[in-house]
Amino acid sequence: MSTVQPNILAANLSTTPFPDVDNVSHCPDTISWDIFYSSLHIYIFILSTLGILLNIFVLLVFCLHKKPCTVAEIYLSNLAAADLILVSCLPFWAVNIYNNFEWPFGTFLCKIVNLGIKMNAYCSIYFLVLVSIDRYLALVHAMSHGRMRRPKYAKIGCLLVWLFGLVLGSPVLIFRKVQYIVDYDVTACINDYPFINFSLFYDVMLTIFSFLIPISIIAYCTLKIIQALKNKSMDRFHTERTEKKATTLIMAVLGAFLICWVPFHLICILDVLCRAKVILDCFTNNAVEFCNQIFSYLAFFNSVLNPVLYVLVGKNFRKKMWEVFHQWAITRPVTSDSTRSHLSSTLKTTV
């Protein structure tokens, strides 16, 4: 049986090259996919395990700390939640790849797992948009727009991002299905769009709303933030120095996101052009198809990298982390002493 190629985060989130799927290539396959997929499931399992543990750890630090989260921390905790959803969905795809793309989990999980993967891509970049806007307001317009930086508004913004991600990912719930592919003798989880023009239109809209618009906002805010950080007069104020510490972590997270995700989004644009027959060169088509796979799994790595950056770069996060550990260390002996005291009094009463 031929090896079926997965395109988990490509423009239409389908497995390729199925003959009844919209992104069938007109070029002969010149890539040896067997070598690529032979160990891919191991990489995904390792990625998932690390990502689940690290992102749960980040969320616990934010949730268990006695002080409420700042606006920036609300955004970063939601980003960690989005990363946790992604890495929790990836083991299903690892099993799928190991089974030569025979999907064993049924139609419901076929839809939900792919929706979780999709929503991570959309929500993550918009959480970073919110973070960038927050840093922009904190450093560039601290006096005039300070009232906008309130936890209540941050929570509303996060809720809107989750709803927006659900709307963008809703076609997955409609068109994803488990279908038997005769040519490959496999029952696969694929996208079954009604016609190719819908697929291309949907992918163009996703490119605009999930990449071009948010990346433009992030780029503008980042440039203004860099200009503000170069202003030496800000060092006189303790508040601005505190904002700078938070900004250092956010800039690191933003940089990691761009390194991991921008290649994927750029290759998706080329993939749309290939499927629209704008690019007809077979070498380019095959190169785009291969790079799509590589950059998809590079993008997944961002969900593991973010928690590491919180610890390595985020001074405020490390401070919160040690305070949570200290709080837990104090609470545990007190609880043990209370339990022993209660047990002793019970025994005396019994005697």
Residue 342, in any domain of the structure: no
Asked if residue 125 is part of any domain, the answer here is yes
Model confidence at 150: pLDDT above 60: yes
The rounded Cα 112 to chain-centroid distance in angstroms is 15
- Determine the distance from the C-alpha atom of residue 119 to the mean position of all C-alpha atoms in its chain, rounded to a whole number: 8
Task: Report the DSSP beta bridge partners of residue 181.
Answer: 186
Q: What is the CATH number of the domain that holds 177?
A: 1.20.1070.10
CA distance 285 to 15: 16
Would you say residue 126 has pLDDT above 90?
A: yes
Question: 124-156 burial, b for 16+ CB within 10 Å, e for fewer?
Answer: bbbbbbbbbbbbbbbbeebeeeeeebeeeebee
> Per-residue pLDDT tens for 229-266?
777 555 544 445 556 666 788 888 899 998 999 999 99
Reference 288, options 269, 271, 275, 272; nearest CA is 271
Structural domain contains residue 197: yes
Helix (H) or strand (E) holding 325: helix 315-350
Q: In this structure, is residue 351 part of a structural domain?
A: no
Query: Which residues have a Cβ under 8 Å from the Cβ of 247 and sit 6 or more positions away?
Result: 135, 138, 139, 225, 229
Full domain range(s) for residue 231: 5-25+33-337
79-123 pLDDT per residue, tens: 999 999 999 999 998 999 888 889 999 999 999 999 999 888 889
> What total number of domains does the chain contain?
1
Q: Is residue 226 situated within a structural domain?
A: yes
Cβ(191)–Cβ(175) under 8 Å?
Answer: yes
- Residue in this structure with the two tokens 């139609």, named with its chain if needed: 107
Q: What average pLDDT is seen over the chain?
A: 80
List the structure tokens of 306: 């973010």
On whether residue 66 sits in a domain, the answer given is: yes
Cβ(297)–Cβ(40) under 8 Å?
A: yes
Which residues lie below 8 Å from residue 10, measured CB to CB, with a gap of 6+? 16, 23, 268, 271, 292, 296
Indicate whether 299 belongs to any domain.
yes
Q: What pLDDT digit, counting tens, does each position of 36-58 carry?
A: 677 888 999 999 999 999 999 99
**CA atoms of 14 and 99, how far apart (whole Å):** 16
Q: Is residue 113 part of a domain?
A: yes
Identity of the amino acid at 87: V
Q: How confident is the model at residue 25 (pLDDT cuts 50, 70, 90)?
A: low
CA torsion sign, 291 to 190 to 258 to 298? negative
pLDDT at position 196 over 80 = no
Strand partners, 292: none
Q: How much is the pTM?
A: 0.82
Alpha-carbon distance of 50 to 46, in angstroms, equals: 6
